[in-house]
């Protein structure tokens, strides 16, 4: 498992609801948490690891030792947003990029947990920012699309990532559009 980088096509993909929670999904969740901690993140959406499903892992502390802070969100739905504030965000799919992004200060949402139970949440501040960032990923929206400021020239930063992706594509390190679509089709057939 690896984190895909912009402009990988799956980052624009509208993820499908997850219909079945089994040991495969539990294993994927553990791998996602491990990768998130390894890369010093606080949240990770499934499409960031090349999986086309509505699945998010979050630990606002970013500390692997604080397992009690881990949250798994399956098929999350934002119910209500309140307030507005700007804050700095980074994204594991956009290395070294820091942007100022407006988000709601409070977020009420619902998701299914790993036990298959529907859980309601009401998060504020940084936690609310994380869930909004990650649910955007599941809709194929990246944080730069909301940004009002950056730590450098945004266009130049995105161009550098595009050039790197094209080099990796040419060297067979990234999937072609056809390979990506075939991978999505396979996953959808396996999870149906």
CA 52/CA 130 separation, integer angstroms: 19
- Residue 9 pLDDT more than 70? yes
- Residue 192 pLDDT more than 90? no
**134 flagged as catalytic:** yes
154-187 confidence digits (pLDDT tens): 889 999 999 999 999 899 888 777 887 788 788 7
73-117 confidence digits (pLDDT tens): 999 999 999 999 999 999 999 998 999 999 999 999 999 999 999
3 φ/ψ angles, rounded to the nearest 5 degrees: -85, 125
DSSP states of 92-145: TTEEEEEEEEEE-SEEEEEEE-TTS-EEEEEEEHHHHHHHHHHHHHHTT--GGG
Catalytic residue among 31, 85, 86, 134: 134
- Residue 141 pLDDT more than 90? yes
Q: Which two three-digit tokens encode residue 24?
A: 């495969």
19 or 128, greater pLDDT: 128
27-71 confidence digits (pLDDT tens): 999 999 999 999 999 999 999 999 999 999 999 999 999 999 999
119 or 189, greater pLDDT: 119
Q: Residues near 63 by Cβ (< 8 Å), separated by ≥ 6?
A: 37, 69
Contact 54, 75 (CB under 8 A): yes
- pLDDT score for 132: 98
- Residue 119 pLDDT more than 90? yes
């Amino acid at each position: 498992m690896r984190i895909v980088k912009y402009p990988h096509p799956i980052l624009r993909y509208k993820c499908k609801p997850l219909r079945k929670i089994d040991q495969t999904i539990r294993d994927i969740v553990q791998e996602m948490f491990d990768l998130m901690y390894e890369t010093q993140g606080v949240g990770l959406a499934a499409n960031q690891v090349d999986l086309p499903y509505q699945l998010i892992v979050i630990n606002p502390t970013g500390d692997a030792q604080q397992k009690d802070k881990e949250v798994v969100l399956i098929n999350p739905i934002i119910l209500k947003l309140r307030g507005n504030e700007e804050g700095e965000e980074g994204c594991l799919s956009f290395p070294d990029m820091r942007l100022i992004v407006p988000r709601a200060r409070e977020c009420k949402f619902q998701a299914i947990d790993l036990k298959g139970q529907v859980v309601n949440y009401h998060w504020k501040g940084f936690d609310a920012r994380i869930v909004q960032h990650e649910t955007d990923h599941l809709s194929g929206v990246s944080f730069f699309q909301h940004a009002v400021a950056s730590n450098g020239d945004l266009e130049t930063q995105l161009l550098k990532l595009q050039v790197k992706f094209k080099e990796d594509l040419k060297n067979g390190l990234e999937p072609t559009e056809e390979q990506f679509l075939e991978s999505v089709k396979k996953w959808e057939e396996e999870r149906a």
